[in-house]
Structure 1
Amino acid sequence: MQAEIVILGSGTSMGVPTLGCTCAVCTSTDPRNRRMRPSIAVEWQWEGAPRRVLIDTGPDFREQALRSGVHHVDAVFYTHPHADHILGLDDLRPLSFRHRPNYLPLYADANTARILERVFEYTFSPASQYPTRARVQLFPIDGHDTTQVAGAAFQRVPLQHGNVEVSGFRFGNAAYLTDMKSIPDASLPLLEGLDVMILDALRPQEHPSHANLEEALHWVEVVKPRQAWFTHMSHEIDHEATEATFPPHVRLSYDGLRIPIEI
Structure 2
Amino acid sequence: MKVTFLGTGTSSGVPMIGCTCEVCRSLDHRDQRLRVSVHLEVDGRSFVVDSGPDFRQQMLRARISHLDALLFTHEHKDHTAGLDDIRAFNFRQKTDMPVFAEPRVLQQLRQEFAYIFAEHKYPGVPRVVLHPIERDDVPFDVLGVPVLPLRAMHHRLPVLGFRIGGFCYLTDANHLGPETRAQLRDADVIVLNALRREEHISHFTLAQAVAVLEEAAPRRAYLTHISHQLGLHREVEAELPPWIRLAYDGLKVAI
Q: TM-score, normalised by structure 1?
A: 0.93
Report deviation, 1:147. Answer: 2.7
Q: Using the alignment, how far apart are the partners of 1:227 and 1:210 within structure 2?
A: 21
Tell me the equivalent position of 1:71. Answer: 65
Tell me the equivalent position of 1:27. Answer: 25
Tell me the equivalent position of 2:122. Answer: 130
Q: Using the alignment, how far apart are the partners of 1:248 and 1:209 within structure 2?
A: 27
> 1:1-150 counterparts in 2 under 5 A?
3-46=1-44, 51-100=45-94, 102-125=95-118, 127-141=119-133, 142-150=135-143
- How many aligned positions are there? 253
Report deviation, 1:190. Answer: 1.9
The AA in structure 2 aligned to 1:41 is: H
Contact 2:146 2:164 survives alignment (8 Å): yes
Equivalent residue of 2:186, what SS?
coil
Q: Using the alignment, how far apart are the partners of 2:132 and 2:190 within structure 1?
A: 24
Q: Using the alignment, how far apart are the partners of 1:128 and 1:159 within structure 2?
A: 37
Contact 1:97 1:135 survives alignment (8 Å): no
Equivalent residue of 2:108, what SS?
helix
Contact 1:143 1:158 survives alignment (8 Å): yes
Report deviation, 1:151. Answer: 4.1
Q: Using the alignment, how far apart are the partners of 2:153 and 2:93 within structure 1?
A: 34
> 1:181-196 counterparts in 2 under 5 A?
181-196=174-189
Report deviation, 1:148. Answer: 2.7
Q: Which moved more, 1:150-159 or 1:244-253?
A: 150-159
Q: Using the alignment, how far apart are the partners of 1:252 and 1:14 within structure 2?
A: 18
Report deviation, 1:189. Answer: 2.5
Equivalent residue of 1:244, what SS?
helix
The AA in structure 1 aligned to 2:187 is: L
Report deviation, 1:45. Answer: 4.8
Q: Using the alignment, how far apart are the partners of 1:21 and 1:189 within structure 2?
A: 40
Compute the RMSD of aligned alpha carbons.
Answer: 1.2
Report deviation, 1:88. Answer: 0.3
- Extract unaligned runs of 5+ from structure 2: none
Q: Using the alignment, how far apart are the partners of 1:38 and 1:194 within structure 2?
A: 21
Tell me the equivalent position of 1:247. Answer: 241
1:133-182: CA deviation from partner (whole Å, max 9, x where unpaired)? 11111110032342333442211111111111101000111111010001
Equivalent residue of 2:209, what SS?
helix
Q: Using the alignment, how far apart are the partners of 2:200 and 2:99 within structure 1?
A: 30
Equivalent residue of 1:24, what SS?
coil
Contact 2:222 2:246 survives alignment (8 Å): yes
Identity of aligned residues (%): 41
Equivalent residue of 1:236, what SS?
helix
Q: Using the alignment, how far apart are the partners of 1:186 and 1:245 within structure 2?
A: 30
